Amino acid sequence: QVHLVESGGASVQAGGSLRLSCATSGGTLNSKTVAWFRHTPGKEREAVALTYPGGRLTRYADSVKGRFTISRDDSKDNVYLQMNSLKPEDTAMYYCAALLRAGTVWDDIGNYNYRGQGTQVTVLS
């Protein structure tokens, strides 16, 4: 059973940077698609970024393109989300999800077999 654990969330001033980490116990992320999602109460959950196994292929939401970078370190079995030029509207609980089921869209967290409990990011204006 794969158990995902996110870390790195914090409060930061607008314009600042954070790096979120997604780690796993009881399994490996190395051969799995991994995505980051975010959710703010009162808003729909948003898919933020996706990385395929190997890390060469990625996808991003338009709202974060050019500011966020998803990467993976297979030697550490971690997936990261580097967030730069943060804006107050980036404030959310950020979740990682792993193992996208074949033939499904990447931007629906329900299409992943595993998800973590989240880490809070607050961007202060």
Confidence (pLDDT) at 1: 80
Residues listed for the chain = 125
Q: What is the 3-state secondary structure (H, E, C) of 50-102?
A: EECCCCCCEEECCCCCCCEEEEEECCCCEEEEEECCCCHHHCEEEEEEEEECC
Confidence (pLDDT) at 2: 87
**End-to-end C-alpha distance for the chain, whole angstroms:** 40
Residue with tokens 């979740």: 95
How confident is the model over 41-95, as pLDDT tens digits? 999 999 999 999 999 999 999 999 999 999 999 999 999 999 999 999 999 999 9
What gap in Å lies between CA 64 and CA 28, rounded to an integer?
A: 27
How confident is the model over 7-39, as pLDDT tens digits? 999 999 999 999 999 999 888 999 999 999 999
